[in-house]
Amino acid sequence: MNTSQRLVVVSNRLPVTVRSTGINICLEASGGGLVNALTPILEVTGGCWVGWTGTDFHETLIESLEQWSSERNYNLQPVFLTPAENAAYYRGFSNEIIWPLFHGLSSRCQFDSTYWTGYRAVNRKFADGVERVAGNRDFIWVHDYHLMMLAQDLRFRGLRQQLAYFHHIPFPPPDTFETLPWRSEVLRALLCFDLLGFQTPRDRRNFIESLHRCLPGVQVSGVGERLRVRFEDHWSSIGTYPISIDYAALAAEATGPDVTAAAEKIRQGCSGTAIILGVDRLDYTKGIPERLIAFQSLLQSNPGMRGRLTMIQIVVPSREDIPEYMQLRLRIERLVGCINGEYGSPGWVPIQYFYRAFSRTELIAFYRAAHVALITPLKDGMNLVAKEFCASRIDNRGVLVLSEFAGAAAEFRNGALLVNPYDTERVAEVVALALQMTESEQCARMELMRSHIQSNDVFRWSESIRTENTASPPADYQRQKAALQYAAGLLR
Ligand code: ADQ
């Protein structure tokens, strides 16, 4: 994309949350890294965001969305889904097949062919939405696993615009990927994009190996970070682009007096004990029960630490209508109750547990109050919480204990203490080491991570994808093609 090109962003959800207040509808801007990164660019380039409203068709909602768009330099193009479409495409194919499979938890998958049919149909519905708004020279940027078929649907309709795709979650190894009954269809559709971006070199490698395994005839050229793949006369660029955060905004907000006061209040609420912090969306991939068991093991094997540390575990509600997520919530709450019941004493509660969303200011205050951030997903595309924690540490203190299976581990090898989240006893030992780390070592590690995030923020991330040159196949192919054309001319 050149920087004057209009941008069309396509994601499962629009960057607004629809709230119905009786007969009225109001729209609230959604938070999150993606929205924060892309809306300033959309404001400059102009363009459109295509996504699901989270609702079925709603006449009044169209008016509200038009009103919202009229106050900005970009439009919101809604996709409405019926409850049946939602069940097959979102709850079914996206959440019961791709999400567990791509996080390496294939025993949780429900390979139901009606989910696949629904997923295909809804991707076509998104294609209708994109077709309605896309101009000839637009750069169309599709986000995440809900929309892996979209480029193919758009090409069938004759759209020639540049199409990019970013994969926010892990891409599994070929042995796992190939269990997907629709593996070739998905890979063929992904290769209709001109550019495919992954979070880590490992994800990109898994993708390329899956191509070799499942799509005979695929050709891969290039070395290092950027590869070119040819399949049926179409070239795609494949690269690694680790997503990040708005470092400057977060670091600035962390200096605010309200954050400082709130952090102090959190520390007082823990009676001045050392604070170990966990912050996650409710999800079985985040390793929350395993982390609580690690904390229990820490208390069990270190009686001297009892009464001198507090774990704060924040869980933001997510996918609450799915029974599996409710069971996870109950399991977490049972574990918190058991640990507090077993180890607590008058005046000391080992785990403070919150099941709700917090404002950005409140969250930053938790990051600033903590001594150790314990971020131990069983598998995670990136994990923005790890980056937010570091950006908030304007004092260059605090220790990040991070799962080696989070995408962020690839960038923080030298700053964080890496752990295997399944090895709960070792996690407990590493937390004990983190609590004893000298200030100078904390400072050296934290500075390393902060300066990395500062120079690789979310704006650099989006810029590197938008300016990636996808237009031409590699020079050797150009030369081969010219030679073949020349030879064909001689034979005529
Ligand atoms: P998520 O699985 O949602 O994202 P993550 O990257 O950690 O995971 O982002 C969570 C976001 O939610 C963070 O920005 C955090 O601040 C916010 N949050 C968490 N708890 C909160 C609370 N209680 N209140 C308010 N906000 C809270 C998916 C992939 C990740 C990938 C991202 C971005 O699963 O692997 O890093 O996309 O690509």
Q: Do 261 and 160 share a structural domain?
A: no
Nearest CA to ligand 1 atom 8: 383
Q: Is residue 446 part of a domain?
A: yes
pLDDT on residue 488: 44
Q: Do 375 and 332 share a structural domain?
A: yes
313 lines ligand 1 (CB under 6 A): no
| Domain harbouring 19, CATH code | 3.40.50.2000
pLDDT on residue 3: 60
| Whether 389 contacts 370, CB under 8 Å | yes
33 lines ligand 1 (CB under 6 A): yes
Q: Is residue 304 part of a domain?
A: yes
Q: Look up residue 481 and give its two tokens.
A: 């093609």
Q: Do 464 and 415 share a structural domain?
A: no
CA distance 226 to 82: 40
pLDDT on residue 44: 83
CA distance 329 to 4: 46
Q: Look up residue 471 and give its two tokens.
A: 């237009």
Q: Do 202 and 60 share a structural domain?
A: yes
Q: Do 464 and 449 share a structural domain?
A: no
363 lines ligand 1 (CB under 6 A): yes
Select from 198, 200, 243, 279 the residue to mutate for testing ligand 1; criterion: most ligand atoms less than 8 Å from CB. Answer: 279
Nearest CA to ligand 1 atom 9: 384
194, 203, 380, 457: the active-site residue: 380
**380 in active site:** yes
pLDDT on residue 483: 46
Q: Look up residue 404 and give its two tokens.
A: 């080696």
Ligand 1 atom nearest 318 alpha carbon: 3
Angle between helix 33-45 and helix 458-466 axes, rounded to 10 deg = 50
pLDDT on residue 319: 84
Q: Is residue 386 part of a domain?
A: yes
Q: Do 209 and 237 share a structural domain?
A: yes
Q: Look up residue 222 and give its two tokens.
A: 């290039």
Ligand 1 atom nearest 33 alpha carbon: 14
252 CB contacts (<8 Å, ≥6 apart)? none
Q: Is residue 96 part of a domain?
A: yes
Select from 266, 281, 356 the residue to mutate for testing ligand 1; criterion: most ligand atoms less than 8 Å from CB. Answer: 281
Question: What backbone phi and psi angles, to 5 degrees, belong to 413?
Answer: -55, -35
Ligand 1 atom nearest 358 alpha carbon: 24
259 CB contacts (<8 Å, ≥6 apart)? 253, 361, 364, 365, 368
- For the CA atoms of 355, 359, 360, 366, what is the dihedral angle to 10 degrees? -50
Going from the Cα of 315 to the center of ligand 1, the distance in angstroms, rounded, reads: 11
Going from the Cα of 306 to the center of ligand 1, the distance in angstroms, rounded, reads: 31
Q: Is residue 1 part of a domain?
A: no
Angle of CA points 151, 51, 7, to nearest 5° = 65
How many independent structural domains does the chain possess? 2
169 lines ligand 1 (CB under 6 A): yes
Q: Do 446 and 417 share a structural domain?
A: yes
364 lines ligand 1 (CB under 6 A): no
pLDDT on residue 470: 64
Count Cβ atoms below 10 Å from residue 213 Cβ, excluding itself: 16
Going from the Cα of 114 to the center of ligand 1, the distance in angstroms, rounded, reads: 30
14 lines ligand 1 (CB under 6 A): no
276 lines ligand 1 (CB under 6 A): no
Q: Do 152 and 294 share a structural domain?
A: no
Q: Is residue 193 part of a domain?
A: yes
Going from the Cα of 342 to the center of ligand 1, the distance in angstroms, rounded, reads: 31
Quote the pTM value.
0.94
Q: Do 136 and 255 share a structural domain?
A: no
Rg, the chain, Cα only: 24
State the chain's maximal CA–CA distance in angstroms: 93
Task: Please name the residue that has the structure tokens 């629904």.
Answer: 118
**168 in active site:** yes
Nearest CA to ligand 1 atom 19: 280
Tens of pLDDT, residue by residue, the chain (492 residues) = 666 689 999 999 999 988 887 678 889 888 766 787 788 789 888 899 999 999 998 888 999 999 999 999 999 999 999 999 999 999 999 999 999 999 999 999 999 999 999 999 999 999 999 999 999 999 999 999 999 999 999 999 999 999 999 999 999 999 999 999 999 999 999 999 999 999 999 999 999 999 999 999 999 999 877 899 999 999 999 999 999 999 999 999 999 999 999 999 999 999 999 999 999 999 999 999 999 999 999 999 999 999 999 999 999 998 888 889 999 999 999 999 999 999 999 999 999 999 999 999 999 999 999 999 999 999 999 999 999 999 999 999 999 999 999 999 999 999 999 999 999 999 999 999 999 999 999 999 999 999 999 999 999 999 999 888 664 444 444 444 444 444 444 443
Ligand 1 atom nearest 386 alpha carbon: 7
Sort strands 139-143 and 417-419 into parallel, antiparallel or unpaired.
unpaired
Going from the Cα of 221 to the center of ligand 1, the distance in angstroms, rounded, reads: 34
Q: Is residue 97 part of a domain?
A: yes
Q: Do 348 and 475 share a structural domain?
A: no
Q: Is residue 2 part of a domain?
A: no
Q: Do 326 and 416 share a structural domain?
A: yes
H or E element that contains 140: strand 139-143
58, 168, 234, 452: the active-site residue: 168
Q: What residues does 315 pair with on adjacent strands? A: 280, 355
155 lines ligand 1 (CB under 6 A): no
25 lines ligand 1 (CB under 6 A): no
Structural domain span for residue 388: 248-455
203 lines ligand 1 (CB under 6 A): no
360 lines ligand 1 (CB under 6 A): no
Q: Do 297 and 229 share a structural domain?
A: no
Kindly state the DSSP code that residue 222 receives in the 8-state scheme.
-
CA distance 138 to 4: 10
